[in-house]
Amino acid sequence: MNHFFFKHAIELAQKGLGHTLPNPAVGAVVVKENKIVARGWHKKAGERHAEIVAMDEARAAGTDLKGASLYITLEPCRHYGRTPPCTDRIVQEGIARVFMGMRDPFERVNGRGMAVLKEKGIDVQCLKKGSPLYREVADLNQPFIKWTNTSLPYVTMKAACTLDGKIATRAGSSAWITGEQARSDARRERSMCDAVLVGSGTVRADNPELAAHGEYTGKSLLRVIFDPSLTLPTTMKVFRDANVLVATTGRALEQAGQAYAERGIETRAFGATRVSIKQLLQYLGQRSIQHVFVEGGAGVHGSVFEEALLDPLIIDRVLWYMAPMLFGGKSALSAIGGTGVESVPSAFRIPHMDVTHLGVDLKLSGRINVY
């Protein structure tokens, strides 16, 4: 097992991040006589899987794959989905060795692909759990792994704030706290997700489009609006098409739901008088949403945070962009509203933190759950 080839497969898999819902991002390289002869990655659900792309490339080049080795970040499938089983093609090509990054946790695969290959006399090896390289492979698909194992989407909470934790001045001014480099990075982070969750206050104040950007332009990003009172005008930009969900309460739905229904806007109650974040996430998971990007302002962040204090599966990652400025003022909005914790020992702790400079701003990416 050669770590160099695995590293290259990981780099290939990264090209598919944010594009493959509901499938994971996967990279593969085919090696013969200690040289890479073909490579591939999964580009989009319904299209060829990474190992098929690589083997097709080899066949197009006239390369005989008999006796070759396949390095792949995730276990090959052995069932019919939108595409045929990859294990059949691996056997057909005469691949002698398959080096897997990890098992596919999806119930229709999970060990079955490995078993089929072994039955056909192929040498199959998997990276050891806990090894640094295994961690890199697992990090590729944290949302997919969580969703597969818990039926809940992975949740990233994002904020852009000053060094004193403010997201607006006491007068409500907030454009722009961070610089263009940080804002561009935040848009890319959002675009890689499957859904974005914001509050009605943010929509009313900024009238955002909440669209995917850059290489993800045109991607179908579900816009989830947290609106317990169902008071937003249906003329806002977020309601431009049907790819939107308004999360509200039973009481509000009875009183104002008809106006939204007439516009074809999906509204759903996740509680009688307050929106349950857990119920909302369960519903999104049922819709195969694997990664939710929360950038909803103090109110939404407060609601998500307070449920996360009771349930460790509510928030998986925090993404904070901090600008070198101070607003001050007790009435200036902080990044997280709500009641908050009562004592220091009760603080919400973030065990894994990475810090990056983006111009003069800081990007703090903290992982709370590691799957």
Known catalytic residues are 51
Question: Looking up tokens 């390095």, which residue turns up?
Answer: 71
CB 321 within 8 A of CB 179: no
Q: Binding site for NADP(+): what residues are annotated?
A: 160, 176, 202, 297-303
Report CA-CA distances (Å) from 219 to 19, 179, 358.
Answer: 8, 25, 25
Query: How long, in residues, is the chain?
Result: 371
State the burial class of residue 83 (Cβ atoms within 10 Å of its Cβ: 0-12, 13-18, 19+): middle
d(CA 199, CA 95): 52
Count CB-CB contacts under 10 A for residue 44: 11
Q: What letter does residue 233 receive in the DSSP assignment?
A: -
CB 79 within 8 A of CB 109: yes
Q: Binding site for substrate: what residues are annotated?
A: 174, 190, 206, 210, 295
Question: Looking up tokens 């890199």, which residue turns up?
Answer: 136
Q: Binding site: what residues are annotated?
A: 49, 77, 86, 160, 174, 176, 190, 202, 206, 210, 295, 297-303
Token pair of 302 as six digits: 């407060």
Nearest Cα to 156, choosing from 200, 190, 179?
A: 190
CB 74 within 8 A of CB 110: no
Torsion of CA 257, 259, 264, 267, to 10 degrees: -20
Report CA-CA distances (Å) from 293 to 101, 249, 348.
Answer: 27, 21, 19
Q: Transcribe 294-354 into DSSP letters.
A: E--HHHHHHHHHHHHTT-TTS--EEEEEEES-----TTSPBSS-SS--SSGGG-----EEE
Token pair of 101 as six digits: 């990054």
Question: Looking up tokens 């692909």, which residue turns up?
Answer: 113
**3-class secondary-structure state, position 119:** helix
Q: What are phi and psi of 121, to 5 degrees?
A: 85, 15
